[in-house]
Amino acid sequence: MENSGRKLVFDYIVVGTGPAGAVMAKTLTDDKSSSVLVLEAGPKKDRDTPIKDSAFALELEENFFPEYFWQGEGVPQEGVGGRAFEWTTGRLAGGGSSINGEQYVRPTSAVFREWEALLGPAWSPKQAIRRFKELEKYNGATDNRSSRGYKGRIDIRQAPARPTDMAKKLVSAIDSATGVGEIRDYNNPDTPIGAFTQWQLYQQPNGRRESSSTAFLSSDIVTPSGRGKNGRKIKIFYQTSALRVLFENKRAVGVEFLKEGEYSRAYARKKVILSAGINSAQLLMLSGVGPSRQLKAAGIPVVFNNPNVGKRLRNHTLNFAVFSANPHDMPLPDHDPNALYTGGAFLPDPAPGSRPDRRAVQLLGIGDDESRTLTIAILYLKPKSRGSVRIQSKDPLRIVLADEGFLTNEDDLESVKRIYREYIKKIAIELAAIDPSYRLLSPAMDVIDNDEELENFIKENFDHNHHQQGSLRMAPLEKGGVVDPYGRVHGVSDLIVADASIIPFTVDGNTSAAAYLIGLTIAERLSKTKERKGPRRRRESFEE
């Protein structure tokens, strides 16, 4: 440590071990010559039963256990009656990938065409598919093998192998109600729309959770204490909280941090990389990059005034429909409780005139044996509402004011109401026709038919997604950007952000796959830059 008289100097410093950070750390040290220090605020818990056992995945997302999560709450949401929701993610190796619901959903080519138009060819559908193939080790069926990867580090399991009658009935009802058809592989770029009985999960073949920690910081990469193996120059400091980025003029040169209660600093010869997810915006502002008025009010010296920092925060909406179920229908196969979900679908926007080939709605079946119910989780994937992240002071340990802005744009509420009327109501009718045991309990049919009652139901039963994205938008400065197409922070040098916070256009599915892609894309760019510059002329120090 620095205060022991030894200066910590590395080529790169990476803050966070979530999907992007772990990929960055592993990829940058593949050459066995570049040194990387990784700062992870939490411990390594890959072997804890609630983390490795996928059967705990839904319980983790509902209970936010303090040993695995950051503890915090966002500001009350006016759009949903002043209710407040958790502002949290995983505080352990793997970050959010160690505590999420394990759904692997790539953004569709339609999304990447938007990214490409704004950012250039590095983010084209073709390049995205190439990188996803490099990342994944797919264990499932598809109609398009050329679009799937089979040799990557991320195990993806399609489950269950034999769907239950409950899943089959739900999918049949969705198909009949919407006409989208049943599809085999929703991550096939040719089939982004459809109903399906099998989800694709971040799971190893035995059903255990696959996280960025198990995939990219595994025993062949680092020792249990976090030191690189087989000549790899990586060092992970667990239980170490980054406080701020250090600058000389406008160049990022290092990071201040607390390690087991002890203050210290580390320095980067090349780049400082923030992959801290929902905490990256706070770190940028604490470091002096953000809205100057806000920073000055907090007593933080301004390094670069960028009013876009912390703005344009987005999240998908989340609501539910609950059905009674046939008591003889099992939600999951007895032999595969790790399958987690009972069918689902990706659907287009039900608004008249919307494109039928563009995802806008995600339906997720969740069966419950004890209550004998089937719940459909409803995600609207194209919200117009925007939120923000603001710091309260220069104290790095004080939580931010996170305002997710749920339903502040009235169009979002109208869209969710339309989903209930055009999809849920029709699915309920078709499901009851297949099996009368399946009846819509909540909301009742008469609620769906009453505009005011449906609106109140949506607000009162609104829930919280952990699909935060876009608060540090990847775009030109004049278009609301905080970072450029390779994560480089506008207005300063040698500082990169690589995580879901830089997503430029809302993804049409879960955010973790996009975060892995962001990590690999930016890491590849840095690796190519190293190759062009040639070998270093002197031996670099690598000290703990």
pLDDT tens profile 121-167: 999 999 999 999 999 999 999 999 999 999 999 999 999 999 999 99
In a domain, 204, yes or no: no
Residue 64's pLDDT band, with cuts at 50, 70 and 90, is confident
Residue 539's pLDDT band, with cuts at 50, 70 and 90, is very low
Residue type, 353: G
Residues 520 and 432 in one domain: no
In a domain, 202, yes or no: no
Whether the CB-CB separation of 403 and 388 falls below 8 Å is answered with: yes
Q: Which of 221, 230, 172, 176 has the alpha carbon at shortest distance from 197?
A: 172
In a domain, 471, yes or no: yes
- DSSP secondary structure string for all residues of 270-310: EEEEE--GGGHHHHHHHTTEE-HHHHHHTT---SEE-TTTT
Residues 423 and 474 in one domain: no
Number of structural domains the chain divides into: 2
pLDDT of residue 532: 59
Q: Which of 483, 366, 441, 544 has the alpha carbon at shortest distance from 20?
A: 483
**Alpha carbon distance 162, 521 (integer Å):** 36
Residue 481's pLDDT band, with cuts at 50, 70 and 90, is very high
CA distances from 140 to 71, 201, 332, 474 (A): 36, 10, 18, 33
Return the H-helix or E-strand segment holding 126. helix 125-135
Residue 531's pLDDT band, with cuts at 50, 70 and 90, is low
pLDDT of residue 538: 38
pLDDT of residue 537: 37
Q: Answer yes or no: is pLDDT of 53 > 50.
A: yes
pLDDT digits (tens, 9 = 90+) for 331-384: 999 999 999 999 999 999 999 999 999 999 999 999 999 999 999 999 999 999
Q: Answer yes or no: is pLDDT of 530 > 70.
A: no
Whether the CB-CB separation of 348 and 382 falls below 8 Å is answered with: no
Residues 426 and 305 in one domain: no
Residue 533's pLDDT band, with cuts at 50, 70 and 90, is low
**Alpha carbon distance 383, 233 (integer Å):** 43
In a domain, 495, yes or no: yes
**Alpha carbon distance 489, 166 (integer Å):** 49
Residues 430 and 323 in one domain: yes
pLDDT of residue 540: 38
Please state which of the ranges 444-458, 478-492, 526-540 shows the lowest mean pLDDT: 526-540
Residue at token pair 């411990």: 43
Give me the CATH number covering residue 377: 3.30.410.40
Look at residue 415 and give its three-state secondary structure.
helix
Q: How high is the mean pLDDT of the chain?
A: 95
Going 212 to 218 to 220 to 221, the CA torsion angle's sign is positive
**Alpha carbon distance 113, 477 (integer Å):** 20
Whether the CB-CB separation of 89 and 277 falls below 8 Å is answered with: yes
pLDDT digits (tens, 9 = 90+) for 265-297: 999 999 999 999 999 999 999 999 999 999 999
pLDDT digits (tens, 9 = 90+) for 427-451: 999 999 999 999 999 999 999 999 9
pTM for the predicted model, two decimal places: 0.95
pLDDT of residue 454: 98
Q: Answer yes or no: is pLDDT of 82 > 90.
A: yes
Whether the CB-CB separation of 348 and 360 falls below 8 Å is answered with: yes
In a domain, 2, yes or no: no
pLDDT of residue 261: 86
In a domain, 1, yes or no: no
Quick one: CA torsion of 119, 124, 130, 134, rounded to 10 degrees?
30
Residues 284 and 395 in one domain: yes
pLDDT over 70 percentage in the chain: 96
Which of these three, 443, 461, 479, is where a domain ends?
A: 461
In a domain, 3, yes or no: no
Phi-psi region of 502 (alpha: psi -120 to 50; beta: other; left: phi over 0): alpha
Q: Answer yes or no: is pLDDT of 63 > 90.
A: no
pLDDT of residue 407: 98
Residues 151 and 292 in one domain: yes
Residues 535 and 428 in one domain: no
Residues 402 and 286 in one domain: yes
Q: What's the whole-number mean pLDDT along residues 60-67?
A: 84
pLDDT digits (tens, 9 = 90+) for 370-402: 999 999 999 999 999 999 999 999 999 899 999
Please count the other Cβ atoms lying within 10 Å of the Cβ belonging to residue 374: 27
β-strand pairing of 440-442 with 317-324: antiparallel
Question: Domain residues for 452?
Answer: 161-197+317-382+409-461
In a domain, 203, yes or no: no
Whether the CB-CB separation of 439 and 323 falls below 8 Å is answered with: yes
Whether the CB-CB separation of 470 and 503 falls below 8 Å is answered with: yes
Give me the CATH number covering residue 148: 3.50.50.60
pLDDT over 90 percentage in the chain: 93
Residue 529's pLDDT band, with cuts at 50, 70 and 90, is confident
Whether the CB-CB separation of 517 and 212 falls below 8 Å is answered with: no
Residues 103 and 244 in one domain: yes
Residues 151 and 167 in one domain: no
Residues 348 and 264 in one domain: no
Residues 49 and 151 in one domain: yes
